Amino acid sequence: MSRAAPIGVFDSGVGGLSVLAELRRLLPHEQFIYLADTAHLPYGARPGEEIRALTGQAVQELHSRGVKAVVVACNTASAYSLEHLRARFDIPIIGLVPALKPAVAATRTGVVGVLATPGTLRGTLLQDVIRTFADPAGVRVLTAVSAELVPLVEAGQAEGEQTQVVLRETLRPLAEAGADQLVLGCTHYPFLAGSIRAGFGHTFTLLDSGAAVARHTRNVLQRADLLNDQQAPGTVAYFVTGEVEAARPVFAALSPDRAEPVHLAAAGG
């Protein structure tokens, strides 16, 4: 495998751009291919088998384009697919783990909130992390779930009035229960930070997995001697499986290079 080969980054939509930003910050000389399966967005309400199938097809597409590793920048896809992907592909597959460990370490009230999608909540990964880090520390973990937030971010409404209404309704029980840390359990949710602050001020410290995933990716590539040793700044190729015209303004708004996505045939047909 060539050190100059790109890194694949996959998400169901634009949420993974928050992870991509951390990857590019830490690995500025790497080439990236970003694939968003917008034709099948959102993944959160889909059955586990379908999530695994769609994720596998997307990673196969990235693999066929010669990537040296894939970052599954989607909490729902990670919760259901990582074991299957690692058994199927001969390249490093890096997934997301909810940022519960630092939240447990930082809480002063002993109550931590997790804002998740229905799919992430149904998977076993979150419960495994709670058992590993929160339960031994005696920290109470409360979850808040919304199926509306991902579509709102995808529609470019991360700071819109409807988004703030949904967030107030969804997060109020966590605030009233005394949560002082809020784990953003979906890669779309870092784009909601402004709206969360507008509704709740500094009630919560917000935590997401992007920076930790970037560090882990660097470490994995370093151990495999796959870090790009070229000094030129890296670039990104962006692909979507859905309508380009619908995706273009949101990609432009949420990416620092005003990304121009290209259409790719939908992973699931």
Position of tokens 């930003």?
A: 21
Active site residue 74: yes
What pTM was estimated for this model as a whole?
0.92
The pLDDT tens digits of the residues spanning 154-188 come to 999 999 999 999 999 999 999 999 999 999 999 99
CA distance 111 to 103: 9
CB 113 within 8 A of CB 183: yes
Closest Cα partner for 150 from 102, 185, 111? 185
The domain segmentation of the chain, as residue ranges, is 7-96+210-263, 100-207
CA distance 6 to 23: 12
State the number of CA atoms in the 13 A half-sphere of 123 facing the CB: 31
Per-residue model confidence (pLDDT) at position 125: 86
CA distance 188 to 209: 11
Detail the residues annotated as belonging to a binding site.
11-12, 43-44, 75-76, 187-188
Per-residue model confidence (pLDDT) at position 122: 82
Peptide bond into 42 cis (omega under 30): yes
Q: Catalytic residue among 70, 74, 116, 129, which? A: 74
The CATH number that domain 7-96+210-263 falls under is 3.40.50.1860
CB 69 within 8 A of CB 214: no
Residues lower than pLDDT 50 in the chain? none
Per-residue model confidence (pLDDT) at position 268: 54
Same fold, 7-96+210-263 and 100-207: yes
Q: Catalytic residue among 114, 152, 186, 213, which? A: 186
The pair of three-digit structure tokens given for residue 38, joined into one six-digit string: 């917008």
Active site residue 113: no
Per-residue model confidence (pLDDT) at position 206: 98
Detail the residues annotated as belonging to a binding site for substrate.
11-12, 43-44, 75-76, 187-188
CATH architecture of the domain 100-207 equals 3-Layer(aba) Sandwich (3.40)
